[in-house]
Amino acid sequence: MPIERISAHLERLLAPDQQIEELSVGYGGDGGPAEGPLWWSERGCLLFSDIHNNRRMKWDPSEGASVFQQPTNHANGLTRDLKGRLLACEHSTRRVTRQDADGEITVIASSYRGRRLNRPNDVVVGSDGSIYFTDPGAPAPGLDLDYSGVYMVSPDLGSITLLVSDFVTPNGIAFSPDESVLYVNDTRRQHVRAFDVMPTGALALASDRVLCDLSGERPGVPDGMKVDVEGNIYCGGSGGIWVIAPDGSHLATIVHGYDATTNVAFGGDDWKTLFFTTWNTLGRVRVNIPGIPVPTDR
């Protein structure tokens, strides 16, 4: 069975006999895997990153996968801002950028207090337009910063705030539906941490807690993360994609058969298709609860 029952309420999440579909293969390499899936609802397609091959891919239900953009500065995590513009975490340029419909690039963040960022990984946008992103990689030779951080950029792009600096490898990042909690996973420590969000957008550090440990005997570590409209968290972990309740309970594991889940994204017309990337592949599975929609072009 592709779905492992952990909770008695599994059927509310997805059918136990739901099949895993492999949509496309042939990505990744030593420089990075397939990553950053993002449903673009107006076009009815999925964008995702092929980091090693320095390209952005598009998967269309009728045409399959094709190259959408190249080069991308080895971009990883993708999302959209409140106006529907594409945000990307670029590895080789060590920055977060925004791309307008006409292709114009705006740098969202590239440094903190005069020192270049490490390797921005994943990004999420708050309802006020604030941009939150993870920046793993440190300490390492050639990097300016000696820590791996989680940052917030103000809606007007005028300021950047370091929120947390004690992660080993901050990776996936996501809000609860009401944005009262920010989740960040730590790939190296193999857990998800949760922080209450203050009215200013900063994190209440006293609320910092380990929400769930995703380690186990099977391959897979926390990487990428999304939340459905009821607050359940979907994250790569040991054995596949873990579904975690807001209180940290492990509800189910979607066992797709690959060694690692690199990221996940909700999409489709009803936002009930869970797309996932692995080192080499793009896949999907249907779920019962829709994910939090990504902003569209207004």
292 lies in some domain? no
Q: Is 7 inside a domain boundary?
A: yes
Indicate whether 152 belongs to any domain: yes
- How many residues in the chain? 298
- Is residue 295 situated within a structural domain? no
Q: Is the residue at 51 inside a domain? A: yes
- What's the burial of 290, exposed, middle or buried (CB within 10 Å: 0-12/13-18/19+)? middle
Q: Which residue has the tokens 């099977």?
A: 218
Domain hosting 163: range is 3-286
**Residue 13 confidence (pLDDT):** 87
* pTM exceeding the 0.85 threshold for the entire prediction: yes
Task: Tokens for 207, please give them.
Answer: 């609320």
In a domain, 291, yes or no: no
Q: Is residue 293 situated within a structural domain?
A: no
**pLDDT 10s per residue in the chain (298 long)?**
465 555 556 678 887 778 899 999 999 887 779 999 999 999 999 999 999 999 999 999 999 999 999 999 999 999 999 999 999 999 999 999 999 999 999 999 999 999 999 999 999 999 999 999 999 999 999 999 999 999 999 999 999 999 999 999 999 999 999 999 999 999 999 999 999 999 999 999 999 999 999 999 999 999 999 999 999 999 999 999 999 999 999 998 999 989 899 999 999 999 999 999 999 999 999 999 999 999 887 5
| Residue 298 confidence (pLDDT) | 58
How many domains does the chain fold into?
Answer: 1
Does 294 reside within a domain? no
Sign of dihedral through CA atoms 146, 190, 291, 203? negative
Q: Residue 1: what pLDDT? A: 45
Residues 124 and 174 sit within 8 Å (Cβ to Cβ): yes
The CA-atom distances, in angstroms, between 232 and each of 23, 180, 250, 252 are 25, 14, 10, 11
Q: What is the CATH number of the domain that holds 141?
A: 2.120.10.30
The answer to whether the CB of 127 falls within 8 A of the CB of 83 is no
